[in-house]
């Protein structure tokens, strides 16, 4: 997966980790093998963890659950992916600086007095390919970066639509997702508005929260899913996360590489926050649904009114109204309203 042949191992950070300190010698070795495999091949499939780490299945799964985050593509170590993003950004900046330097030297030679004198035929043939290769390489890289960004946006958008769809009660009235969005809009963040969105009067406007939710559920073509991940990142209280690691670059390409690297760091941290929030949300939802059904069984006289409330909520719910999650959320709300004697 990675063209990078090495990654730094911060010894003090590694040996000072409480998780590492609790590991046996075999587990430390297995952990390093998992990190190396992820660096070379990408997310680790659950079925391959024991083989890669050379540990029993139970021990390998413990390492995954303690030190890695599960994604749709496999298990990833958040800290390692942050290192990867930084390394790739630096490599891209070095490559671009080299190309700019080569072009500058070529132009300087081409315009010098020595180059203005008649050249031998073989020198004329060699003059063009150098500049041509630089342009061709730059064009291919830009096309590749554009295609990679589009694929990443598509995957992120698909995941966010599913994430919101599983929380239909948020859209039905429980504004958990809206709270996350608002925390992101008003919470502490970086200063680069191309990464974090525009700031007006010291705060991000409220209508962005509504727009994000509407566009993500409708698949709006202008919706940038990766930027929505930056909103979720604000729920992570990561005081060590650097806010100014990427200084203004000298070239547009290097600057864009820094922005993309920062977005990638945001994605890694926000994915972890979303996973933790999902576990918390799922547990709360199950408890509330069970409580609602139990109460309804003990109050058969309220069943008809509750069913009426649910029917009305489904009729006004739009696209997500027919999903099981939406109907369950509507039932919880209907029972809550019935118990409180409130309006439907």
Q: Tokens for 91?
A: 């490599």
Other beta carbons less than 10 A from residue 265's beta carbon: 24
Contact 73, 42 (CB under 8 A): yes
Q: Label residue 2 by pLDDT band (50, 70, 90).
A: low
Closest CA to 227 of 262, 259, 195: 195
Position 256 pLDDT exceeds 90: no
Q: Label residue 297 by pLDDT band (50, 70, 90).
A: confident
Position 260 pLDDT exceeds 60: yes
Of 79-83, 86-90, 117-121, 195-199, give the range with the top mean pLDDT: 79-83
Q: Label residue 28 by pLDDT band (50, 70, 90).
A: very high
Position 292 pLDDT exceeds 50: yes
Please report, for the chain, the start and end positions of each structural domain, with discontinuous segments joined by +.
Answer: 11-76, 79-280, 281-340
Decide which of 187 and 289 is more confident: 289
pTM comes to 0.33
Least confident of 61-70, 194-203, 296-305: 194-203
> Which pLDDT does position 327 carry in this prediction?
79
Distance of alpha carbon 242 from alpha carbon 149, whole angstroms? 23
Position 46 pLDDT exceeds 70: yes
Closest CA to 163 of 177, 184, 180: 177
Other beta carbons less than 10 A from residue 71's beta carbon: 14
Q: Which residues of 305-338 are buried (b: 16+ CB within 10 A; e: fewer)?
A: ebeebbeebbeebeebbeeebbbbbbbbbbbbbb
Distance of alpha carbon 259 from alpha carbon 257, whole angstroms? 5
> Which pLDDT does position 29 carry in this prediction?
92
> What is the arithmetic mean of pLDDT over 277-295?
74
């Amino acid at each position: 997966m990675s063209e990078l042949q090495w990654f730094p191992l911060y010894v003090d950070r590694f040996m000072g980790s409480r998780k590492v300190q609790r590991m046996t010698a075999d587990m430390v070795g297995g952990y390093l093998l998992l990190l190396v495999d992820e660096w070379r091949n990408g997310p680790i499939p659950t079925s391959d963890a024991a083989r890669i780490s050379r540990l029993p299945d139970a021990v390998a799964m413990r390492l995954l659950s303690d030190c890695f985050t599960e994604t749709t593509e496999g298990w990833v170590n958040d800290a390692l992916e942050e290192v990867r993003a930084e390394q790739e950004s630096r490599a891209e900046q070095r490559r671009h600086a080299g190309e700019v330097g080569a072009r500058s030297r070529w132009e300087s030679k081409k315009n010098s007095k020595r180059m203005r004198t008649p050249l031998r035929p073989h020198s004329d043939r060699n003059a063009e390919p150098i500049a041509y290769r630089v342009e061709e390489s730059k064009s291919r890289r830009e096309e590749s970066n554009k295609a990679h960004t589009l694929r990443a946006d598509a995957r992120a958008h698909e995941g966010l639509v599913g994430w919101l769809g599983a929380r239909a009660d948020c859209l039905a009235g429980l504004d958990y997702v809206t709270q996350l969005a608002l925390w992101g809009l008003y919470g502490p963040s970086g200063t680069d508005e191309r990464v974090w969105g525009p700031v007006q009067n010291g705060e991000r406007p409220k209508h962005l929260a509504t727009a994000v939710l509407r566009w993500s559920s409708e698949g709006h073509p202008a919706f940038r899913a990766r930027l929505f991940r930056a909103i979720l990142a604000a729920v992570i209280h990561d005081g060590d996360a650097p806010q100014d690691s990427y200084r203004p670059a000298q070239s547009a390409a290097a600057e864009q590489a820094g922005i993309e690297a920062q977005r990638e760091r945001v994605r890694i941290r926000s994915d972890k926050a979303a996973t933790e929030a999902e576990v918390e949300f799922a547990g709360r939802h199950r408890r509330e649904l069970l409580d609602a059904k139990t109460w309804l069984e003990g109050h058969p006289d309220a069943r008809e009114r509750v069913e009426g409330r649910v029917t009305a909520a489904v009729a006004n719910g739009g696209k997500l109204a027919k999903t099981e999650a939406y109907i369950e959320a509507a039932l919880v709300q209907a029972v809550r309203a019935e118990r409180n004697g409130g309006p439907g």
